[in-house]
Structure 1
Amino acid sequence: MLASTLMLIALLCAGVLIPVPYAELSPGPTVNTLGEHDGEPVLQIAGHKTYPTTGHLNMTTVRVTSADYRMNLVEAVYGWLAHDNKVVPHETLYPDGKTEEESTQENAEEFSQSQESAKVAALKELDIPVQSWVIVSTVVKGSPAEGRLHAGDVIKTVDGTAVKEPADVAELVTRHEPGEDVRFTIVPAKEQAAAEKEKRAPARTETVTVTTAASDDGGEKRAVVGISAGTDHTFPFTIDIKLADVGGPSAGLMFALGIYDKLTPGSLTGGRFVAGTGTIDDAGEVGPIGGVEMKTVGARAKGAEFFLTPADNCAAAAKDTPEGLTLVKVDTIEDALGALEDIRAGDTAGLPKCTSGG
């Protein structure tokens, strides 16, 4: 008996002291995009008529253990046994040894981009014009473009060819051989910012020549200059999204729907409690996210009746759907708006529901 007791104590101590390479996900907060958070409206629109809203269009989140947190064996076993938690390999959430600071920065950038895309998608659905242009999104340190091109520069042409989409930049650069020059016609970031602030067209452009280098990403060698291109927008009125301590791109769909609801008469939900998740791009396409099982649990715990689910997440979400929650499959913002029309009309029998097959 003494030997067994000592062995049990030793095993428990080992379980508490021995770190294991796992991280944990659990349901996070859910926030109504039509309501308030920390005492102020989540969506604040100025310069355009808005309308009263009712019901809920809740964005959902997942809590994750931090990059530098080292889970012990006891915590891992408890997480595996807990119904509402999920334990995954640490590298799944933090690949390549990513630090907590790096992860937070990346999540903040994705969250900011998701807000921009949500605004664009909602306004396009309402046929409200949005001005867009291609910009230098990032410049790789030590690359040929460093010091010559800067984040925020507007790319007008590459070698005299007009640029309309971010993909055009890479396509035009890779027409060259490594070591050849590429000519960029740009509006410098500072000039673009001043023009936007003063609500005028940019007054000047510059031509910048960058000598290409060979790619070193392990694939087929091609000419590169060391930038990534993105899209920036000017909106016809102000749309602010006030939500701190949230990161990642997965609230895009719900932000877009909240904006659409506030800019149109009546209520999208008919007063019902709808939650959801999903990335969104400028064209209104809805993309998959991580931790959908945690998000459905968190949504239902707050009272959600319907959950707008990206089509690619349907199979995972349907494996263990919380009782009383209907999973609605969506591929686009138009799908979501159509589903909401049926929900507020009470015609839910024909909703495109998620199944274990997708």
Structure 2
Amino acid sequence: MSSRTVAIAACSALVVALLAVAGFAPLPVTIAEPGLTANVLGSRSGAKVITVTGAPVRRTAGQLRMVTISATEPWAAIHLSDVVGAWFRTDETALPHDAVYPATSVKQVEAQNNAEMRQSQDAATAAALRHLKLSPSKVKIGLRLSGVGGPSAGLMFTLGIIDLIDGDGHGGDLTGGRDIAGTGTITTAGAVGAVGGVQLKEQAARRDGATVFLVPRAECTDAKAVTPAGLRVVPVDTLDQALSALAAIDAGGRTATC
């Protein structure tokens, strides 16, 4: 056997060994999939998601659904086979572990998610009352959504508060009786921001019956890459745009879509 042949055989064996190690070694990756959805106009775990004190509350029809993604636990071992499997599926995606879990411990992750949720709720309350021209010193809003963290429900919380107190401003529902889902952060001034995971979230929305999905305009490209059949994806930049889009849909008019 020539020295060249021996060298090639040795290199081949090394490559095979490295591939074997790569196949079984855990990777710094998290697998995400469509998560739960919750109607902010209703109840969860036996408690109303939105409570209002200091203003009358309407009886509403339809649903306003916030949506989430579900990720593997921060300590889960993800291997190359899992990543390859996710690559060929539309209901799974592989994400850098640190992008999903930037904190170093489970308690820190939970604390960060809870802090972002509280900030989101405060901004949603301020944006809704600002739109309704109601004083926060007179009208108190309670927001409770157990088991969910992060800032992505801001837009839907805001719409839910407005629907419960004022509806469409003419005695009707913002939803027009439809199942409306959406995602996006909110600022006190009513600006809607991107949150990520929109492809998985729209699948969760359609799975749970939504026919309209409000999405931050900045994520429109991602949203239209894999749009479930029967779901109308509507891009918005602001709370006012979201309200206008819902009014147009209820009236049977045209709206921008992704």
Normalised by the size of structure 1, how large is the TM-score?
A: 0.63
Q: Deviations over 1:257-303 (max 9, x none)?
A: 00000001421111011100000010011000111111000001111
- Supply the RMSD in Å over aligned alpha carbons: 2.0
Aligned to 2:174: 268
Q: How far is 1:50 from its partner?
A: 0.9
Question: What CA distance in whole angstroms lies between the structure 2 residues aligned with 1:101 and 1:289?
Answer: 22
Q: How far is 1:16 from its partner?
A: 7.3
Matched, 1:284 2:187: no
Partner SS for 1:91: helix
Aligned to 1:238: 140
Q: How far is 1:237 from its partner?
A: 2.4
Greater radius of gyration (CA) = 1
- Contact map agreement 1:22 1:90 (CA 8 A) in 2: yes
| Residue 110 of structure 2, aligned match among 93, 100, 104 | 104
Aligned to 1:259: 161
Q: How far is 1:314 from its partner?
A: 0.8
Matched, 1:32 2:39: yes
Q: Which moved more, 1:33-42 or 1:290-299?
A: 33-42
Aligned to 1:22: 29
Q: How far is 1:14 from its partner?
A: 6.2
- Between structures 1 and 2, the one with greater helix share: 2
Q: How far is 1:90 from its partner?
A: 1.7
Q: Deviations over 1:22-64 (max 9, x none)?
A: 1111100000111121222211112211111110110000111
Q: Deviations over 1:164-203 (max 9, x none)?
A: xxxxxxxxxxxxxxxxxxxxxxxxxxxxxxxxxxxxxxxx
Matched, 1:66 2:73: yes
Q: Which moved more, 1:97-106 or 1:256-265?
A: 97-106
- Contact map agreement 1:15 1:74 (CA 8 A) in 2: no
- Contact map agreement 1:24 1:85 (CA 8 A) in 2: yes
Aligned to 2:130: 124
% identical aligned pairs: 41
- Contact map agreement 2:90 2:226 (CA 8 A) in 1: no
- Between structures 1 and 2, the one with greater strand share: 1
Kindly tell me the number of residue pairs found equivalent between the two proteins. Answer: 238
Aligned to 2:150: 248
Q: Which ranges in structure 2 are unaligned for 5 or more consecutive residues?
A: 1-16
- Contact map agreement 1:308 1:327 (CA 8 A) in 2: yes
Question: What CA distance in whole angstroms lies between the structure 1 residues aligned with 2:78 and 2:106?
Answer: 15
